[in-house]
Amino acid sequence: MQDLIPFLISGLAIGAVYGLIGSGLVVTYKTSGIFNFGHGALATVAAYCFYWLHVDLGLGWQVSAAVTVLVAGPLMGLLMELIARRLAPQRVPMKIVGTAGLILLVQGLGTIKYGPDAISVDGFLPKSEDSFAVGSVNVQYKFLFTAVIALVAVAALWALFRYTRIGLAMRAVVDDPDLLAVKGVGPVRVRRAAWLIGSTFAALSGVLLLPLVGLEPIALTFLVVTAFGAAAIGAFTSVPLTFLGGLALGVATDVSKNYVLDVSWLAGLPASLPFVILVVALLVMPRRKLMAASLIERRPPLQWHAPWRARAVAAVVVVGALATVPAFAGTKLTFYIVALTQVVMFMSLGLLVRTSGQVSLCHAAFGAIGAVAFSQFAVDHGLPWLVALLLGALVVVPVGALVALPALRLSGVFLALATLGFGIMVERLFYPLDWMFTPVSTGRVMPRPSFAQSDDAYYFFVLAIVVVCGAAVVAAERARIGRMLRGMAEAPTAVSTAGLSISVTKLIVFCVSAFMAGVSGILYGSALHSAGTTDSHYSSFYSIILLVTLALAPFANPWYAVFIGMVAIIPGYLPGEDTTYWLNAAFGFFAVQVAMAGGTPAAPARLRAAMERLGRRGRHAPDTGGQAPDEDDTAPNASLDRSAVPEAGEGFRIRGLTVRFGGVTAVDGIDLHAPIGRITGLIGPNGAGKTTLFNAGTGLLKPDRGDVSMAGRAITRASAAARGRAGVGRTFQIMNLCDSLTVADNVALGHESGLAGSRPWSQLAATRAQRRETRTAADDAMRLCGIAHLAHRQAGELSTGERRLVELARCLAGRFDVLLLDEPSSGLDQVETARFANVLERVVLDRGIGVLIVEHDMSLVMRICSYIYVLDFGKLLHEGVPESVRSSTAVRAAYLGTEELHTTGDVQEAEA
Ligand SMILES: Nc1ncnc2c1ncn2[C@@H]1O[C@H](COP(=O)(O)OP(=O)(O)OP(=O)(O)O)[C@@H](O)[C@H]1O
């Protein structure tokens, strides 16, 4: 025990700094909704600032520290508040890129000014030998000093929270971000105060950590990243728990050093422990803690796709141009080879991030594992080169599957944190081991294939692999898996309620992406003949560079990968030590700009026009798939007698359903039946519990009590996807469409998601019969809804009314027996509403399905529903045929007081 005390003391000191950093992170995250991945960059700026004042200008350390913490820290806070304000409405990946870009910017500029080597800085904190004795234990003053300063800062935060108005407001917002919207709190002031505090704490931590690691931007940044684990222990919410978490991390890290001293294979454990804890905390944390702050996100800019013909021509031109490179590149050819290997890496990451909406900050680790496995197969076991390439990349597949596990329950910021933690953990725990990158000085031998030993031959070989990967990525995009990935990225709830098991889709894309990253890591290593820890392409920092630069790449799949990968040739033409750092700084700067703007600018209009012309040449005008609908089909279905529609089947039923949100009982013991062959209405004032009932019925929410069945089969425990496959389809109050897909593809998703289901092979590709079946179902549904003429338009271009009809068509295209429609007529004009009513009545009769509809348009409900349930405050207020609802005094009282329940206008007025 006596041996442990020095580790305990140093651990408490560094832990207090982690707690300080974590507290700043939590305060800014909860008030602004932005998790600052660049927090370490702020600490690094402070460290540079301190160094400049103290060493370059020769000011005393006290003055330098005071200016850094009290002037530079708050200034950074003001700047961060401005950046955060513009990042706030952007999508989560943009928020991640916007803050991670700061890391590249600071690393680039700092290294240009002070060089890449760590500059050791001591002399301002008490020296190691300055200590005092407590009993038989010597305590170094520098640890005491560090811990006391961090403690004082956090105590000041506590006092601010407790005794000042702004502090009280901030505390309230940290507990519940929605309170920012409450009048009188002053959201801008609260956010600004939070950023001032967070950045000042970051500046203080930069000054305190400087003597520990020296002036080295990457080391400093990653030391600060350690504190992300502290924030995870505090569930990204609690400042006191975060501080305690920081202390625990510091102690665990330092104390574990004592235990692993003699165990060589555990040498990396202390440094990786905080990241193990970060990943584990994210895996075990209750889901509700992982809900992002409720901010409205801007829709991404619509991606333009050049016509296929134009894309094919462009592919031939680009590949042709790349094939001429060995003729002129000379000694620069290695840069081109490296660039091509990175094209594969960007395709791999793009598949995950741009196509599937996932995030990865551990792709460099995939590359490293692939390279090491390949070297072992090719060199240690003497396998043929191509076999070793294949096996090496296959080794990365289970690692990708492992990373997919967090992705099953995490998304956005938390998935980014988990993958970052995973990458750093692998780097620190495994890279130093014997079977990884040894010998450390030279790294692993990475041979080239016997048929491509020369640079020229190897270049062509890598180019061939790029072409194969590009073709595979484009083919995947056109196949079922491509639509499923887009669906998962842009309309995850819709495709999962339509029958797609998203967990399987995530697993597939992580495995494929990991395989490609492994191939890239191998090709890169073989290009340079070795792979080692000294190569930055296998480091966690490179994973950040990859994600940030990917966001900057214009163009669609796979051109963005070619564009951004080829940037690797720049250092070949702009030689000089600093070129890479200038590039990093520029990438970081532009990443922040692009993220604040919400994405890369659209392709120039002239280029688009030229490509469209090229695409059309020699072809007839595209088939629009039909004419705009006739207004005639808006007249009521005269031939239909609603009361005569037979009840043909059990359909959808819920019994005793109860859903609570904390103290609010949103649905209270409801029984409801939506049989086949009937349109059943579910109405009630705002907040009555209708959407909650739908969510619980379709498996998006776990009810506290009650049963759900479909066609007599219990589905209470079934997943949302399984319920979809059991025949329950639904639409959403807040529309859930894939904006980047065409209307036809969106509608086809309703059918295809169920066919894709939960089997990996079914998700990858469709049989010919299934393709035909899907096309017929989608065409029928589009025709029914009067949107066939929109089939080739991108969903993101449509009006709200048209989008509603696409949602309905998607639901109609599915193999569902009962459709749950949540406010389907909102956004439709009168003509569209009339057509919509006819469509519903017709499909119920023709197809023998059932409909359960939530609607606020009472005239529509009264016209098409045969039976109506009325909810109020989660309870069933009334059920019966429309006439009984109309004459019910209880219903009238709930809706309108004593007014009569007749028209839309009345109801909406009453609810306003
Ligand atoms: N995720 C949630 N967390 C906490 N409370 C919730 C949540 N979702 C819904 N509620 C609450 O449950 C109650 C029912 O909400 P719900 O959205 O189901 O009503 P609704 O009848 O669909 O209303 P609307 O017609 O406005 O869509 C409301 O009091 C709402 O505030």
Q: Find residue 658's DSSP bridge partners.
A: 705
pLDDT > 90 fraction of the chain, expressed in percent and rounded = 43
CA distances from 637 to 3, 642, 845 (A): 87, 10, 11
pLDDT the model gives residue 273: 87
Round the average pLDDT of the chain to a whole number and report it. 85
Cross-strand partners of 119: 215
Is residue 896 scored above 70 in pLDDT?
no
The confidence score (pLDDT) of residue 495 equals: 94
Measure the CA–CA gap between 198 and 384, rounded to whole angstroms: 54
Residue 737 alpha carbon to ligand 1 centre in Å:
22
The number of helices, as runs of H, and strands, as runs of E, in the chain is 38, 14
Tell which residue, 364, 697, 798, has the closest CA to residue 543. 364
Q: Which residues contact 860 (CB under 8 A, 6 or more apart)?
A: 825, 833, 837, 904
State CA 400 to chain mean position distance: 16
For residues 253 and 334, membership in a common domain is answered with: no
Kindly tell me the sign of the dihedral angle through the C-alpha atoms of 714, 719, 722, 723: positive
DSSP code, position 68: I
Quote the ligand 1 centre to 889 CA distance (angstroms). Answer: 24
Tell me, yes or no, whether 327 and 258 share the same domain: no
The answer as to whether 583 is a domain residue is: no
pLDDT digits (tens, 9 = 90+) for 856-883: 888 888 888 999 999 988 898 888 888 8
Cβ-in-10-Å burial (0-12, 13-18, 19+) of 715 comes to: buried
- On whether residue 312 sits in a domain, the answer given is no
Question: Looking at 237-251, 607-621, 893-907, which range is the least confident one?
Answer: 893-907
pLDDT tens for residues 420-445?
999 999 998 888 888 888 777 778 89
For the record, the structure tokens of 877 come out as 């207020």
**Cα–Cα distance measured from residue 314 to residue 320, given in angstroms and rounded to the nearest whole number:** 10
Number of the ligand 1 atom closest to the C-alpha atom of 874: 14
* 314 found inside a domain: no
Most confident listed range (43-47, 169-173, 636-640): 43-47
CB 38 within 8 A of CB 206: no
Q: Are residues 256 and 335 in the same domain?
A: no
Contacts of 741 (CB under 8 A, 6+ apart): 483, 486, 487, 490, 749, 794, 795
- Asked if 572 contacts 131 with a C-beta cutoff of 8 angstroms, the reply is no
Q: Residue 314: its pLDDT value, please?
A: 85
Helix, strand and coil percent figures for the chain, each rounded to 5: 65, 10, 25
Ligand 1, pocket-test mutation among 493, 661, 826, most atoms within 8 A of CB: 661
The residue nearest atom 14 of ligand 1, judged by CA position, is: 689
For tokens 């660049």, the residue is 38
pLDDT band for position 406 (50/70/90)? Answer: confident
690 Cα: distance to centroid of ligand 1 (angstroms): 8
- Which residue's alpha carbon is at the smallest distance from atom 4 of ligand 1? 661
The C-alpha atoms of residue 329 and residue 340 are separated, in whole angstroms, by 14
Domain boundary among 571, 586, 614: 571
Q: Residue 499 gets which letter from DSSP?
A: T
- Atom number of ligand 1 nearest to Cα 692: 18
Q: Which atom of ligand 1 is nearest to the CA of 733?
A: 27
560 and 659 together in one domain: no
Whether the Cβ atoms of residue 895 and residue 907 lie closer than 8 Å to each other: yes
Instruction: Determine the pLDDT at residue 195.
Output: 93
CA of 724 to the centre of ligand 1 (A): 23
- Which of 288, 654, 691, 855 to mutate for ligand 1's pocket (most ligand atoms within 8 Å of CB)? 691
559 within domain boundaries: yes
Residue that wins the pLDDT comparison between 126 and 419: 419
Contact 528, 535 (CB under 8 A): yes
User: Model ipTM?
Assistant: 0.96
- CATH code of residue 97: 1.10.3470
Residues with CB under 6 A from ligand 1: 661, 664, 666, 684, 686-692, 733
Q: How far, in Å, CA of 586 to CA of 106, rounded?
A: 10
Cα-to-centroid distance, 874 and ligand 1 (Å):
9
Residue nearest to atom 1 of ligand 1 (CA): 661
In the predicted model, is pLDDT for residue 901 greater than 70?
no
pLDDT score at 694:
93
How far, in Å, from the CA of 238 to the mean position of ligand 1?
A: 26
Helices 455-478 and 333-350: angle between axes, nearest 10 degrees: 20
- DSSP SS3 for 878: strand
Pairing type for strands 649-661 and 705-710 reads: antiparallel
Is residue 581 scored above 50 in pLDDT?
Answer: yes
The pLDDT tens digits of the residues spanning 604-653 come to 777 777 766 766 654 444 444 455 555 555 555 555 454 544 555 788 99
Query: Are 851 and 866 spatial neighbours (Cβ–Cβ below 8 Å)?
Result: no
Tokens representing 332 are 């620069």
The helix or strand, by DSSP H or E, that contains position 62, with its residue range, turns out to be helix 61-67
Closest CA to ligand 1's atom 28 = 687
* φ, ψ of residue 879 in degrees (nearest 5): -145, 145
Residue having the nearest C-alpha atom to atom 24 of ligand 1: 686
| pTM, to two decimals | 0.87
Q: In terms of domains, do 897 and 793 share one?
A: yes
Kindly report which listed range (330-339, 383-392, 895-904) carries the lowest average pLDDT score.
895-904
Tokens linked to 166: 């702004």
Contacts of 162 (CB under 8 A, 6+ apart): 168
| Mean pLDDT calculated for residue range 465-487 | 92
Residue at 401 is within a domain? yes
Instruction: Please check whether residues 154 and 279 belong to one and the same domain.
Output: yes
The one-letter amino acid code at 879 reads E
| Residue-wise pLDDT tens digits, 76-115 | 999 999 999 999 888 888 899 999 999 999 999 999 999 8
| Closest to 61 (Cα-Cα) out of 75, 79, 47 | 47
Measured in Å, residue 843 CA sits from the centre of ligand 1 at 30
Residue pointed to by tokens 């007025």: 909
d(CA 796, CA 107): 38
Residue 423 domain flag: no
Whole-number Å distance, alpha carbon 691 to ligand 1 midpoint, is: 7
Residue 266's Cβ-count burial label (10 Å; 0-12, 13-18, 19+) is: middle
pLDDT of residue 181: 60
pLDDT tens, position by position, 667-713: 999 999 999 988 999 998 888 899 999 999 999 989 999 999 998 88
Q: Whose CA is nearest to atom 30 of ligand 1?
A: 687
Distance CA 387, CA 726 (A): 44
pLDDT at residue 5 above 90?
no
Question: Beta 705-710 vs 867-872: how paired, if at all?
Answer: unpaired
> Exposed, middle or buried by CB within 10 Å (0-12, 13-18, 19+), for 84?
buried
8 A C-beta contact, residue 323 and residue 466: no
Q: State in Å: Cα 695 to ligand 1 middle.
A: 10
Domain membership flag for residue 300: no
Residue 433 CB-half CA count within 13 A:
15
What's the pLDDT score for residue 450?
93
State the pLDDT at residue 630. Answer: 55
By most ligand atoms within 8 Å of CB, the mutation choice from 690, 692, 695 for ligand 1 is: 692
Query: 823 C-alpha vs ligand 1 centroid, how far in Å?
Result: 14
Q: For residue 868, report the distance from its CA to the centre of ligand 1, in Å.
A: 20
Instruction: Write out the H or E segment, with its range, that includes residue 189.
Output: helix 187-213
Nearest CA to ligand 1 atom 2: 661
Boundary-marking domain end, from 571, 602, 617: 571
Residue 526: which residues within 8 A CB-CB, separation 6 or more?
374, 446, 447, 448, 449, 458
**Residues 472-482, mean pLDDT to the nearest whole number:** 91
* Among protein residues, the one whose CA lies closest to atom 8 of ligand 1: 692
What is the three-class DSSP state of 176? Answer: coil
Q: How far apart are CA 236 and CA 24, in angstroms?
A: 11
What is the CA(819)–ligand 1 centre distance, in A? Answer: 21
**Ligand 1 atom with least separation from CA of 684:** 21
Query: Hey, which residues does 660 pair with through a beta bridge?
Result: 665
Q: Are residues 284 and 357 in the same domain?
A: no
By mean pLDDT, which of 137-146, 159-168, 443-452, 550-559 is the weakest?
137-146
Using most ligand atoms within 8 A of CB, pick from 690, 731, 911 the residue to mutate for ligand 1. 690
Same domain, 282 and 328: no
873 C-alpha to ligand 1 centroid (Å): 10
pLDDT(900) > 50 = no
Give the closest residue (by CA) to ligand 1 atom 3: 661
Residue-level pLDDT at 644: 46
CA proximity to 726, closest of 646, 653, 810: 653
Supply the pLDDT for residue 616. Answer: 62
- For 757, phi then psi, to 5°, come to 55, -135
Take atom 29 of ligand 1 and give the residue whose Cα is closest: 687
Residue type at position 478: R
Do the domain assignments include residue 809? yes
Nearest CA to ligand 1 atom 11: 666
Q: What percent of the chain has pLDDT over 70?
A: 89
Best mutation site among 288, 664, 820 for ligand 1, i.e. most ligand atoms within 8 A of its Cβ?
664
> How crowded is residue 80: how many other Cβ atoms within 10 Å of its Cβ?
28
How many Å lie between the centroid of ligand 1 and the Cα of residue 692?
A: 6
The reply to whether 697 and 791 lie within a common domain is yes
Distance of CA 658 to the CA centre of its chain: 32
Q: Which two tokens stand for residue 461?
A: 């070989």
Ligand 1, atom nearest to 694 Cα: 18
What spacing in Å lies between the alpha carbon of 684 and ligand 1's midpoint? 12
Domain-ending residue, one of 270, 290, 310: 290
CA–CA dist 617, 242 (Å, integer): 62
Ligand 1 centroid to residue 822 C-alpha, Å: 13
**What CATH number does residue 846 fall under?**
3.40.50.300
Place of tokens 């509809």: 853
Contacts of 275 (CB under 8 A, 6+ apart): 226, 229, 421, 422, 424, 425, 428
- Among the residue ranges 258-267, 556-565, 661-670, the one predicted with the least confidence is 258-267
Query: Which ranges constitute the DSSP H helices of 132-186?
Result: 141-163, 165-175
How far is Cα 542 from Cα 55, in angstroms, rounded to an integer? 30
Listed ranges 97-106, 174-183, 289-298, 732-741; the one with the highest mean pLDDT = 97-106
Question: Binning pLDDT at 50, 70 and 90, where does residue 398 land?
Answer: very high
Hey, what are 762's tokens? 């079914």
CB atoms within 10 A of CB 492: 18
List pLDDT tens digits, range 776-806: 999 999 988 888 899 988 888 888 888 988 9
Nearest CA to ligand 1 atom 5: 661
Co-location of 725 and 828 in the same domain: yes
**Residue 405 parent element (H or E):** helix 385-409
pLDDT exceeds 80 at position 542: yes
- Give the residue, 531 or 288, on which the prediction is more confident: 531
Q: Whose CA is nearest to atom 25 of ligand 1?
A: 686
Q: Which residue has the least CA distance to atom 6 on ligand 1?
A: 661
Total domain count for the chain? Answer: 3
For residue 742, what is the DSSP state? B
Residue 695 CA, closest ligand 1 atom number:
18
239 is in which domain, residue-wise?
Answer: 4-290
With cut-offs at 50, 70 and 90, classify the pLDDT of residue 185.
low
Residue indicated by tokens 């919207």: 181
Q: Measured at the alpha carbon of residue 345, what is the angle toward residues 340 and 346, in degrees to the nearest 5?
A: 95
The ligand 1 atom nearest the CA atom of 693: 18
287 CA distance to ligand 1 middle (Å): 19
**Which residues contact residue 745 at a Cβ distance below 8 angstroms, ignoring those fewer than 6 apart?**
483, 486, 738
Does the structure show a pLDDT above 90 at 166?
A: no
**If you measure from the C-alpha of residue 396 to the centroid of ligand 1, how many angstroms do you get, rounded to a whole number?**
44
Tell me, in angstroms, the distance from the centre of ligand 1 to residue 484's CA. Answer: 29
389 and 472 share one domain: yes
User: Residue 799, Cβ neighbours under 10 Å: how many?
Assistant: 12
Structure tokens at 403: 């990373």
666 CA distance to ligand 1 middle (Å): 6
Q: Is the pLDDT of residue 721 over 50?
A: yes
Burial code of 20-45, b = ≥16 C-beta within 10 A, e = fewer? bbbbbbbbbbbbbbbbbbbbbbbbbb
Which atom of ligand 1 has the smallest separation from the CA of 659?
A: 12
Reported in sequence order, the residue ranges of 198-322 that DSSP labels E, i.e. its strands, are none
Residues 254 and 342 in one domain: no
* C-alpha–C-alpha distance, residues 235 and 245, integer Å: 10
